[in-house]
Amino acid sequence: MVPVEGRRFLMGSEDFYPEEGPVRPADVGDFRIDPYQVTNAQFARFVEATGYVTVAERALDPKDYPDALPDLLHPGGLVFQGTTGPVPLDDVTRWWAYTPGASWRTPLGPISDLAGRDDHPVVQIAYEDAEAYAAWRGARLPTETEWELAARGGLEGASYCWGQDPYPDDTQMANTWQGEFPWQNLVLDGYPGTSPVGSFPPNGLGLFDMAGNVWEWTSDAWSDHREPAKSCCSPTMLAGTSPDAPTERFERKVIKGGSHLCSPNYCLRFRPAARQPEAVDTSTCHIGFRCVADASV
């Protein structure tokens, strides 16, 4: 793990989305953080050692999803499915589908696997899965404040982990979406989905993928009354559920960092201040995590 010296810093932003503000001072103690997102190979070792079964692999209780279509009440997770052309951006179910059989072993559904992806970030991980892995390691999940301080890498007030320009000298600094979301991915960064951890330059602290690749769980509950106006990343757990169905059945946690699906034309969230709520029962093909530990551990 990489040591991070605790201090007071300016957290948040007032330049992008309302839920990121106001800019305010925040205090953080010393801690240590993984330089990389947890990979498929690392998570596989945890499962082999403990026999752990992830949320996406467990049977669903119909009482938890009373509005879901019956044929979707099977273990699985949310999988991104790009559209064939431009669509209105007011309904995430146009590009998200609850897919029975999707899990960390088969992140895009039963027809997928992890061949050649040992060094990619593990996905289809619900909150308690990330917590269980961290505890097994003698670590924990970061708070939102710890995560943001680490992501900034010493660049206080900068919009991105590397400065103010999202693409300095036309360089792709993170695994994100290039083109018109959700149908036109130009793949200028070389990766249509997740990328091996460490494929892009680190920030000033030597931390990789603090922007893009996959969103990361934090331990903070989402308690903000301001809901993000646009999100590529917060569908209901079962995409067959009515968009008007209540979403407060499960606690929601803050996720940070953006993902390979973040696009400037829709979800410009591959930034340290960006934040989203995610229900703790949800696993998707673009959410993973990294661990932290107290400085004394």
- Residues 5-15 pLDDT 10s: 999 999 999 99
- Confidence class of residue 239 from pLDDT cuts 50, 70 and 90? very low
Question: What φ, ψ does residue 68 adopt, rounded to 5°?
Answer: -80, 150
Q: How far apart are CA 152 and CA 182, in angstroms?
A: 28
* H and E: helices and strands count for the chain: 3, 11
Condensed to tens digits (0 to 9), the pLDDT of residues 77-106 reads: 999 999 999 999 988 889 999 999 999 999
- Altogether, the residues listed in the chain come to a count of 297
Question: Do 270 and 262 meet the contact criterion of CB atoms below 8 Å apart?
Answer: yes
State mean pLDDT over 225-229.
72
Going by pLDDT thresholds of 50, 70 and 90, the confidence category of residue 226 is confident
Q: Burial code of 98-129, b = ≥16 C-beta within 10 A, e = fewer? A: bbbbbbbbbbbbeebebeebeebbbbbbbbeb
In this predicted structure, the answer to whether residue 236 has a pLDDT above a threshold of 60 is: no
Kindly state the greatest CA–CA separation across the chain.
Answer: 53
Residue labelled with tokens 């999988």: 79
- Cα gap 243→272, rounded to integer Å: 29
HEC per residue, 238-282: CCCCCCCCCCCCCCEEEEECCCCCCCCCCCCCCCCCCEEEEECCC
pLDDT at 246: 45
Q: pTM for this structure? A: 0.94
Across residues 220-238, what is the average pLDDT? 69
Residue 249 banded pLDDT, cuts 50, 70, 90: confident
Structure tokens given for 197: 């951890």
The predicted pLDDT at position 231 comes to: 61
Answer yes or no: is pLDDT of 63 > 90: no
Domains of the chain in start order, with CATH, are: 1-297 (3.90.1580.10)
